[in-house]
């Protein structure tokens, strides 16, 4: 995904920043604004905190740039800093800490059963433009428990590998897979009825298919 | 001869199936199941759509003015 061409360009930018051209740092970070914001949001579940943590993470990355080792991707390094900052923020906020501890026992829960069997073969392009779809996606993401949201965002939004996601969150690859399944099925359940029904009313191919 | 597997088994592996994280044997069993089970096929299609949607369409917008605020913070820091 990350071509060696990109890595070379980034290495050149990093060398410029370290050589005193601090403006090159903007170009280095800009492609990953969304990735770091989403990672912070996944952990914190709150837009204002996610933005603040993104800013802190970028400043920290700048300060520590000399410690960046070229065997890692810059994006991975930056996302890892963001995750660490977001978790520090959580720890500072005791109330949220207890909330996330309350979530923990759910890890032992059993299989997730899909609730909806709406037929959803393809997404008509005009549906993607619909505000309802974007709002429903945002609501669905917000409704995921943090430990599912973290994995879902790192893997499916930020497009990290299963191994990278596991490493960043400090969990096993098998936990990543289990949580990813749960997150994806829950996201699908939250979206399928709308895609099947209300957003595409009148479209023959999206008739409701509800067996029970 | 592919051994049949139940829907519950298919749901447990649907995410791994999309990620190419299942054995060829299991993939064959699941493919056979999808050919005969409309519900599981719907779950598979929908789950694949979710992954495609959030990965390719960038449906989650950055807060308005995010970039400007980030770079003005950075400018302060660099001063």
B67 in contact with chain A, both atoms CB, cutoff 8 A: yes
Closest partner residue to A181 among B14, B57, B63, by Cβ? B14
What pLDDT is attached to residue B3? Answer: 81
| CA distances, A79 to each of A4, A86, A192, B2, B17 (Å) | 19, 10, 30, 43, 27
CA distance A8 to B54: 28
**Out of B18, B59, B74, whose CB is closest to A134?**
B59
Tens of pLDDT, residue by residue over A137-147, are 899 999 999 99
Percent with pLDDT over 90 in chain A: 59
Q: Does B59 reach chain A within 8 Å, measured CB to CB?
A: yes
Range ranked top by mean pLDDT from A2-16, A64-78, A132-146, A149-163? A149-163
pLDDT greater than 80 at residue A12? yes
| Cβ contacts of B12 on chain A, cutoff 8 Å | 111, 181
ipTM: 0.93
A181 close to B (CB below 8 A): yes
Residue B58 touches partner A, C-beta closer than 8 Å: yes
Report the mean per-residue pLDDT for chain A: 83
A8-12, A103-107, B55-59: least confident range: A103-107
Q: Where are the beta strands (DSSP E) in chain B?
A: none
Counting every residue, how long is chain A? Answer: 212
A113 pLDDT more than 60:
yes
Taking only residues 27 to 56 of chain B, the set having a beta carbon closer than 8 angstroms to any beta carbon of chain A reads 38-39, 42-43, 45-47, 49-55
Q: Is the CB of B65 inside 8 Å of chain A's CB atoms?
A: no
The verdict on a CB contact (< 8 Å) between A185 and B14 is yes
pLDDT over threshold 60, residue A211: no
Domains of chain A and any CATH numbers: 4-101 (1.10.1740.10), 114-206 (1.10.10.10)
- Measured between beta carbons, the chain B residues lying within 8 angstroms of A128 are 53, 57, 59
Kindly report, residue by residue over B7-63, the tens digit of the pLDDT: 999 999 999 999 999 999 999 999 999 999 988 998 999 899 899 889 877 789 899
pLDDT tens, position by position, A47-102: 999 999 999 999 999 999 999 987 788 999 999 999 999 999 998 886 655 655 55
Residues of A in contact with B8 (CB under 8 A): 111, 113
Q: Is the pLDDT of residue B69 over 90?
A: yes
* Longest distance between any two alpha carbons in chain A, whole Å: 66
Residues of chain B with C-beta less than 8 angstroms from the C-beta of A27: none
**Cβ–Cβ of B55/A159 closer than 8 Å?**
yes
Q: What is the pLDDT, as a whole number, of residue B77?
A: 87
> What is the pTM for the complete model shown?
0.85
Asked if the Cβ–Cβ distance from A185 to B15 is below 8 Å, we say yes
């Amino acid at each position: 995904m990350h071509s060696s061409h990109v890595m070379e360009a980034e290495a050149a930018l990093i060398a410029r920043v370290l050589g005193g051209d601090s403006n090159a740092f903007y170009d280095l970070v800009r492609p990953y604004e969304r990735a770091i914001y989403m990672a912070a949001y996944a952990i914190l579940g709150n837009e204002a905190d996610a933005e603040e943590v993104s800013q802190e993470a970028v400043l920290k990355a700048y300060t520590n740039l000399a410690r960046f080792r070229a065997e890692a991707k810059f994006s991975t390094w930056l996302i890892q800093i963001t995750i660490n900052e977001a978790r520090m923020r959580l720890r500072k906020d005791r109330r949220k800490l207890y909330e996330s501890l309350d979530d923990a026992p759910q890890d032992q829960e059993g299989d997730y059963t899909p609730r909806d069997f709406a037929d959803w073969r393809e997404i008509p392009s005009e549906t993607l433009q619909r505000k309802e779809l974007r709002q429903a996606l945002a609501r669905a993401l917000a409704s995921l428990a943090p430990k599912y949201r973290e994995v879902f965002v790192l893997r499916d939004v930020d497009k990290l590998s299963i191994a990278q996601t596991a490493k960043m969150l400090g969990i096993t690859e098998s936990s990543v897979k289990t949580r990813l399944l749960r997150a994806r099925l829950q996201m699908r359940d939250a979206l399928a009825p709308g895609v099947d029904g209300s957003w595409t009313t009148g479209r023959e191919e999206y008739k409701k298919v509800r067996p029970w | 001869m592919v051994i049949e597997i139940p829907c519950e088994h298919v749901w447990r592996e649907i995410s791994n199936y999309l990620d190419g994280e299942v054995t060829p044997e299991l993939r064959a069993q699941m493919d056979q199941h999808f050919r005969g089970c409309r519900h599981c096929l719907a779950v598979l299609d929908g789950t694949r759509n979710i992954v495609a949607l959030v990965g390719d369409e960038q449906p989650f917008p950055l807060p308005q003015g995010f970039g400007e605020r980030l770079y003005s913070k950075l400018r302060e820091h660099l001063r």
